[in-house]
Structure 1
Amino acid sequence: MTQLETPPAAPKLGRKRDHTRDAEILDAALDVLADTGYAGMTVDMVAARAKAGKATLYRRWASKSELVIDAVACMKQIDPDFSKLPDTGSLRGDLVAMIKAPSIAEGERKMRVFAGVMSMISDAPELTESIHAAIVEPRMAVNRFLLQRAIDRGEIRADADVETLALISQAMVSYRVLMLREPVTRDFLVSVIDGVIIPAVRR
């Protein structure tokens, strides 16, 4: 390079994307999805709920569908701590002890999120796996553990169909929330335990 030549300018770097608020934005997207469904949801609504600029969302997610797919995939996937589950000495006591107001509210929210993405599943089949991992499996794992423990202590039939029984309460909650549009209450959950699960496992 001669003294007359100008050295090439360093390429300008684009503005770094700030991912520190991703979790808040995705959680806000789930709230809006649960409230309005996918068709009624807009990126503006999510931005307002998350108190973030719309441009911030579009820099991170090119479309509403991408935002929803990410939000569902990042839903809290809680691995239950079996050592902290109630042990009342009976299956009915254990199942009833699991009924708590916060878990009922969170379960309803998850069902509304599930309803919101139903129209997208044919176009985004990866949502099915995310929904199962975040909504279905954690509760099934708890029910599976409680049922197997009841079998091990000789309380219920050894040939009880654990996999099917572990899914019954969630299936009935889904139908109540999505089809009947009725709230999930403690009385309803106890009626499922006493009217369906316990009769099915009696010795």
Structure 2
Amino acid sequence: MTQDDPTAGAAVPDGEGGPTAHRRPGRKPDPGRDAEILDAALQVLAEVGYAGMTMSAVAARAKAGKGTFYRRWPSKAELVLDAVGHMKRSQADLDRLPDTGTLRGDILALFKPASVEEGEYQLTIMAGLASMLSQDRGLAEAANDAIVEPWAAANRVLLGRAISRGEIDSAADVETLAQIIPSIAAYRALIQRKPFDRDFLISIIDGVLLPAVRP
């Protein structure tokens, strides 16, 4: 729990827990309200960085009651990971995956070009995440779940379709292949601090992914 937690030592209503916390019986979280809070967390992270970000600032930005807020996200790290995962899942919506008839077309259609402003915003968020990970390497697995897994899940579906069409080898290692593009994207954003643009995506699809899955 962060130092700016006003609920430390106080009783907090049941019903909401952090991403890794045991969820107790009670009122269920409101997905719509959670999304608003997570968006607020991303905004604050982008504005002041991880070191300058406080739980109180996010609660104030989202106009969230601090009791349930701290119960839902007991620590700043959990909040940031949940917020970044929320952003990635919204970009790779499993309920709205493209179906162009080819694996190459599907992956390209999944990519949504960002404006210059949006690209810079996302890079700033990732810089804040990188700062957090440099302070606590124990969060690496949780960070992978937030950054890589949403896109890998989408790629598993697209690769599965391609196998069903006979487009790629049925013996292809789908689990490994699904992680290639999102892992490279994460490295490019976190380490190189560069945007993952369409031209770079095409180079990975044509130079790495497709040669690996051709029958």
TM-score of the superposition, structure 1-length normalised? Answer: 0.66
- CA gap of 1:110–1:196, structure 2 versus 1, over 3 A, is farther
Mean Cα displacement is larger for which, 166-175 or 69-78?
69-78
How far 1:25 moved relative to its partner?
4.2
- CA gap of 1:138–1:26, structure 2 versus 1, over 3 A, is closer
Aligned AA (2:134): S
How many residues end up aligned between the 2 structures? 178
| Structure 1: distance between partners of 2:112 and 2:127 | 19
Deviations 1:163-195 (CA, angstroms, capped at 9, x unpaired)? 011000011111111111111211111111111
Deviations 1:136-165 (CA, angstroms, capped at 9, x unpaired)? 322111100111111111111111110011
- CA gap of 1:199–1:110, structure 2 versus 1, over 3 A, is farther
Matched, 1:163 2:178: no
- CA gap of 1:73–1:110, structure 2 versus 1, over 3 A, is same
The correspondence for 2:134, drawn from 100, 119, 123, is: 119
* Deviation beyond 6 Å, 4+ runs, structure 1: 19-22
1:80 aligned partner: 94
Is the Cα–Cα contact under 8 Å of residues 86 and 97 in structure 1 kept in the other structure?
Answer: yes
How far 1:87 moved relative to its partner?
1.9
1:97 aligned partner: 109
| Structure 2 gaps, min length 5 | 1-10, 14-28
- CA gap of 1:173–1:142, structure 2 versus 1, over 3 A, is same
1:148 aligned partner: 160
How far 1:44 moved relative to its partner?
6.9
SS at match of 1:101: coil
Deviations 1:87-124 (CA, angstroms, capped at 9, x unpaired)? 2221111111111125995975764454243135456x
Deviations 1:49-75 (CA, angstroms, capped at 9, x unpaired)? x1759xx7599549x982442353365
- CA gap of 1:151–1:59, structure 2 versus 1, over 3 A, is closer
- CA gap of 1:30–1:68, structure 2 versus 1, over 3 A, is farther
| Structure 1 gaps, min length 5 | 1-13
1:10 aligned partner: none
2:75 aligned partner: 66
Name the % identity: 46
SS at match of 2:94: coil
2:189 aligned partner: 177
TM-score of the superposition, structure 2-length normalised? Answer: 0.63
Is the Cα–Cα contact under 8 Å of residues 28 and 46 in structure 1 kept in the other structure?
Answer: yes
Q: Cα RMSD over matched residues?
A: 3.9
Aligned AA (1:32): V
Bigger Cα Rg = 1
